[in-house]
Amino acid sequence: MKPVLLIDFGSTFTKVTAVDIEGERLLGTADSYTTIETDVGEGLENALKKLHAQTGPLHYAARYACSSAAGGLRMVTSGLVPELTAEAAYQASLGAGAKVLKVFSFQLTEDDIAEILQINPDIFLLVGGTDGGNTECILHNARMLAATNFDFPVIIAGNRTAARECERILAGHEVHICENVMPKFGTLNIEPARQKIREIFLHRIVQAKGLSQAAELISGILMPTPSAVMKAMRLLAEGCEGESGIGDLIAVDVGGATTDIYSMADGMPRDAATVYKGLPEPYDKRTVEGDIGMRYSVRGIVEAAGLSRICQLSGLDKSRVEELIDQLCAAPDTLPAPGSDLEKLDFALSSMAIETAVTRHAGSMEETYTLMGLTYVQSGKDLRSVRQIIVTGGSLIRTRRTDEIAAHALASPLAPMSLRPLKADIHVDRKYIIAAMGLLSEYAPQTALRIMKKELEYNGHSEQKNS
């Protein structure tokens, strides 16, 4: 047996997963509080004690880790046009596993600079202009930054004509140049920026957040946790040499503060009668809904869905729902007892978290009339043909109504122009292994894929309801 330890340093919990590489099987999983305020090594050792209580003593051939502790990787981006270079920067940042706190467009103002300094991001992504195009905006923004005493690395990924001049303007600061995120109009090139973001995370951010205290316990912190999840989902969708994937998919992670959505699908128009509007989106897309979460962002769910919808799904009256939501805001670590009103409310909240987040992630269609007659205009990804949905998060793995909750990711007659899936098989990550398998995919992709196929529990088939 050749065991490998996979570690996820989360903001609240440190999760550990032991895998037998040769046997291609999961040996065990466990978690413990992260203890980032003192020494993250304590939380790791506590989690390992729980794990070894299940497995017995293990001597690991390697230990690999990802992290979203202390808020994860916090980024700010600036670009030229909101729908183009600024959007390209946003997609590059999210795809690298970052939490994008602000996206600025056009020339930065003094107020913008003040806000950036107040945010104090881990990385600033400076873009703008296609290659050979506009240089005025990105040079102006570089000068505005240079006039301040900022202390965060800057990635320049805009018009190549201006890149070296931006670097000279920002002399004395940590600056990285990579390829333009949008070298030609309407063409995305976000992978070089994604890779540079991950490199900075590995070499700078991890140490800044105190995770280097655990360096002697691991072989290397490789990537932000969302980046590990992205890698796992791409592997599961596409497969690898010697093992086929399961095809296009959507993954949903409903957390206490945010809801993350991942889609692995082309999503472009499927017929000649549909015209695409906007910047084409990446095959592997991630979105983060910072206002949608089961505890810290519970009011965001209610605001998005409407109190009446929450009451309808939970079967509780308005006053009881409001009372329970006040309780959750006061004590966000509260877990529902079986059969309780809180369990009923959690069903409604998680259902609406998924519906809201997937609707925002998916594209939409609108009708328009041209000289050629009726034409459809598509914005964003068409996910109607996606047939696999992967779900995780406490509210989905601790309930027997997972399939009912997950079904809210599907298309609905109530929103006929939303391009959500029409029907799908539901798979549940009950053991929280997805990030671990993303880590493992760097070293043993075939093993990671086979374990996911075995461990992601099939939870039934759902399809669009007619009412």
pLDDT 10s digits, 384-396: 999 999 999 888 9
pLDDT (mean) for 225-239: 94
Any residues with CB less than 8 A from the CB of 114 and at least 6 apart, and which?
none
- 317 and 438 housed in the same domain: yes
pLDDT for the residue numbered 188: 87
| Residue 298 backbone class (left: φ over 0; alpha: ψ -120 to 50; beta: rest) | alpha
- 314 and 367 housed in the same domain: yes
pLDDT for the residue numbered 53: 95
Distance of alpha carbon 124 from alpha carbon 35, whole angstroms:
28
- 91 and 54 housed in the same domain: no
pLDDT for the residue numbered 58: 93
Distance of alpha carbon 314 from alpha carbon 404, whole angstroms:
13
Q: How many domains does the chain have?
A: 3
Query: pLDDT tens-digit profile of 63-105?
Result: 898 877 656 678 999 998 887 888 888 888 887 778 888 999 9
Provide the percentage of residues in the chain whose pLDDT is more than 90.
65
Residue predicted with more confidence, 137 or 219: 137
pLDDT (mean) for 51-62: 93
Least confident of 277-291, 295-309, 317-331: 277-291
In a domain, 223, yes or no: no
Last residue of a domain, one of 178, 203, 228: 203
Distance of alpha carbon 216 from alpha carbon 414, whole angstroms:
54
Q: How many CB atoms lie within 10 A of CB 135?
A: 18
- 148 and 297 housed in the same domain: no
CATH of the domain at 48: 3.30.420.300
The angle at the Cα of 273, spanning 91 to 389, to the nearest 5 degrees, equals 45
In a domain, 250, yes or no: yes
In a domain, 229, yes or no: no
3-state secondary structure the chain: CCEEEEEEECCCEEEEEEEECCCCEEEEEEEEECCCCCCHHHHHHHHHHHHHHHHCCCCCCEEEEEECHHHCEEEEEEECCCCCHHHHHHHHHHHCCEEEEEEEECCCCHHHHHHHHHHCCCEEEECCCCCCCCCHHHHHHHHHHHCCCCCCCEEECCCHHHHHHHHHHCCCCCEEECCCCCCCCCCCCCHHHHHHHHHHHHHHHHHHCCHHHHHHHCCEEEEEHHHHHHHHHHHHHHEECCEECCCCEEEEEECCCCEEEEEECCCCCCCCCEEEECCCCCCEEEEEECCCCCCCCHHHHHHHHCHHHHHHHHCCCHHHHHHHHHHHHHCCCCCCCCCCHHHHHHHHHHHHHHHHHHHHHCCEEEEEEECCEEEEEEECCCCCCCCEEEEECHHHHCCCCHHHHHHHHCCCCCCCCECCCCEEEEEECCCCCHHHHHHHCCCCHHHHHHHHHHHCEEEEEEECCCC
* HSE-up (13 A, CA, CB side) for residue 360: 19
Q: Residue 36: is its pLDDT beyond 60?
A: no
In a domain, 232, yes or no: no
Residue 363's pLDDT band, with cuts at 50, 70 and 90, is very high
Do residues 413 and 200 lie in contact, with contact meaning Cβ atoms separated by under 8 Å?
no
pLDDT (mean) for 55-63: 92
Residue 467's pLDDT band, with cuts at 50, 70 and 90, is very low
Distance of alpha carbon 264 from alpha carbon 361, whole angstroms:
12
- Structural tokens at position 131: 């290659």
- 193 and 272 housed in the same domain: no
- 300 and 404 housed in the same domain: yes
pLDDT for the residue numbered 271: 85
Distance of alpha carbon 40 from alpha carbon 255, whole angstroms:
21
In a domain, 233, yes or no: no
Distance of alpha carbon 229 from alpha carbon 186, whole angstroms:
27
Do residues 21 and 11 lie in contact, with contact meaning Cβ atoms separated by under 8 Å?
no
CATH of the domain at 143: 3.40.50.2300
pLDDT for the residue numbered 223: 80
Residue 101: φ, ψ to 5°: -85, -25
- Structural tokens at position 110: 């003094």
Do residues 109 and 78 lie in contact, with contact meaning Cβ atoms separated by under 8 Å?
no
Distance of alpha carbon 187 from alpha carbon 15, whole angstroms:
38
Residue 210's pLDDT band, with cuts at 50, 70 and 90, is low
In a domain, 414, yes or no: yes
pLDDT for the residue numbered 77: 95
- 317 and 450 housed in the same domain: yes
In a domain, 452, yes or no: yes
Q: Residue 362: is its pLDDT beyond 90?
A: yes
Do residues 6 and 58 lie in contact, with contact meaning Cβ atoms separated by under 8 Å?
no
pTM: 0.86
Residue 213's pLDDT band, with cuts at 50, 70 and 90, is low
- 35 and 92 housed in the same domain: no
Q: Residue 221: is its pLDDT beyond 80?
A: no
- Structural tokens at position 464: 């669009």
- 96 and 46 housed in the same domain: no
Residue 20's pLDDT band, with cuts at 50, 70 and 90, is very high
**First-to-last C-alpha distance (Å) of the chain:** 53
Average pLDDT score over the chain:
89
pLDDT (mean) for 43-49: 86
Any residues with CB less than 8 A from the CB of 349 and at least 6 apart, and which?
294, 298, 301, 302, 310, 395
Residue 397's pLDDT band, with cuts at 50, 70 and 90, is confident
- 183 and 136 housed in the same domain: yes
Write down the residue that tokens 């906007």 correspond to.
278
- 114 and 193 housed in the same domain: yes
In a domain, 123, yes or no: yes
Distance of alpha carbon 235 from alpha carbon 237, whole angstroms:
5
The parent domain of residue 146 ranges over 73-203
Residue predicted with more confidence, 93 or 285: 285
Q: Residue 211: is its pLDDT beyond 70?
A: no
Do residues 205 and 153 lie in contact, with contact meaning Cβ atoms separated by under 8 Å?
no
- 196 and 249 housed in the same domain: no
pLDDT for the residue numbered 352: 97
